[in-house]
């Protein structure tokens, strides 16, 4: 019996461009899109113009000596107390937007995972806009317009103060009056080389002393490294961060729990959350009851007029934010 040698078999490796490509007809985008600050805070009153203002009346520290008590004698006549001036705080509205352009050809040709390139870009840019808004609500610094509109000369565009600046109450945030020190949020720097429990309990105590722990808890935001430091700080032994917390008796296998998401202090609870908008070396804490987003123009997709064989689009939002009680928030700097 003879065997014919199969020397000239036709196989796929040599048939260039003859076999259809095998491509998953979808698009995968796993870029970080979490917006914890936006998710936790609430919408407040919409601004009536490009500035937003609110009133603050801080009655001062708790009595500490007998001289702080207004003791009266029997039959004393009325002696009206001097009243303090209320403070007016302000913030600018901030326009955040993104734009894109798609040719008619790009809209028509077959593309993997996309029916309409214009609609795909609209959805993508809208997601990115929300992410940028989350960053600005935390980190933006206040600035007034210093250019012609539209800005074609490289001047300064109007921006809002974010949470981290509002708790400090700089002069640009004060519309009227003088804000007492106790009405401002604590802005402390880590005391030693390494983060210590006293850094966190100390700033929380200062906030409580100033009346800022109203609901009994604050929400703390930290980036990855700083959140990990908090978890290691509260390991079973402060000097042995590799001694892990074990959890027994669950329906699953025995677990090793590394994160610390809740710290209960004598001065209220701290709920920790990961937020990539927080810069390195910082931890922010706030009470969502007193931090509001104030939207002048809501998130909108704008299809612009055509200019030749292409389509243009924009997505924009104009918003501000208000920290109604600055002493309900704090920032810990130099965390390492």
For the segment 291-314, what is each residue's pLDDT rounded down to a tens digit? 999 999 999 999 998 888 999 999
65: number of Cβ within 10 Å? 6
- What confidence score (pLDDT) does residue 249 get? 57
4-13 pLDDT, tens digit per residue, is 666 777 778 7
Would the pLDDT of 266 be above 70? Answer: yes
Average pLDDT, the chain: 90
Question: Residue 242 — very low, low, confident or very high, per pLDDT cuts 50/70/90?
Answer: low
Q: What are the beta bridge partners of residue 301?
A: 315
Backbone CA torsion sign across 217, 223, 229, 29: positive
Dist CA 326 CA 176 (whole Å): 15
* DSSP label of 103: E
Q: What is the mean pLDDT of residues 200-213?
A: 97
At residue 85, does pLDDT exceed 70? Answer: yes
pLDDT on residue 152: 62
Q: pLDDT (tens digit, 9 = 90+) per residue, 54-77?
A: 999 999 899 999 999 989 999 999
C-alpha distances (whole Å) from 206 to each of 96, 198, 261, 268, 280 are 35, 12, 21, 11, 23
Average pLDDT, integer, range 145-161:
79
Does 3 have pLDDT greater than 80? Answer: no
pLDDT recorded at residue 253: 65
Angstrom distance (rounded) from CA 25 to CA 113: 5
Report for 109-123, 281-295, 298-312: range of highest mean pLDDT:
281-295
Q: In the predicted model, is pLDDT for residue 238 greater than 80? A: no
**C-alpha span between 225 and 229 (Å, rounded):** 6
The answer, yes or no, to whether residue 151 has pLDDT greater than 70, is no
Domain residue spans of the chain:
39-56+86-178+193-330
% pLDDT > 90, the chain: 72
């Amino acid at each position: 019996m003879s065997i014919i040698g199969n020397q000239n078999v036709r196989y796929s490796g040599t048939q260039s461009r003859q076999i259809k490509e095998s491509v998953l007809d979808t698009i995968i985008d796993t870029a970080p899109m979490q917006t914890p600050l936006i998710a936790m805070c609430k919408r407040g009153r919409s601004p009536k113009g490009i500035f937003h203002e609110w009133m603050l009346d801080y009655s001062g520290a708790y009595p500490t000596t007998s001289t702080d008590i207004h003791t009266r004698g029997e039959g004393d006549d009325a002696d009206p107390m001097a009243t303090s001036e209320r403070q007016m705080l302000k913030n600018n509205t901030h326009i955040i937007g993104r734009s894109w352009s798609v040719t008619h050809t790009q809209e028509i040709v077959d593309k993997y995972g996309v029916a309409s390139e214009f609609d795909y870009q609209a959805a993508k840019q809208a997601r990115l806009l929300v992410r940028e808004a989350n960053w600005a609500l935390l980190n933006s610094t206040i600035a007034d317009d210093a250019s012609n509109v539209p800005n074609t000369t490289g001047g300064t565009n109007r921006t809002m103060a974010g949470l981290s600046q509002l708790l400090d109450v700089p002069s640009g945030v004060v519309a009227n009056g003088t804000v007492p020190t106790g009405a401002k949020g604590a802005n402390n720097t880590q005391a030693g080389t390494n983060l210590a429990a006293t850094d966190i309990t100390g700033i929380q105590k200062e906030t409580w002393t100033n009346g800022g722990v109203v609901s009994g808890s604050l929400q703390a935001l930290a980036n990855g490294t700083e959140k990990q430091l908090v978890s290691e700080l509260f390991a079973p032994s402060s000097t042995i961060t590799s001694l892990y917390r074990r959890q027994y008796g669950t329906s699953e296998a025995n677990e090793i729990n590394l994160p610390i998401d809740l710290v209960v202090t004598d001065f209220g609870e701290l709920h920790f959350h990961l937020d990539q908008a927080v810069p390195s070396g910082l931890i922010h804490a706030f009470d969502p009851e007193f931090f509001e987003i104030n939207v002048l123009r809501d998130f909108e997709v704008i299809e612009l007029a055509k200019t030749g064989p292409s389509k243009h689009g924009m997505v924009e939002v104009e918003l501000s934010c208000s920290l109604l009680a600055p002493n309900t928030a704090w920032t810990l700097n130099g965390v390492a």
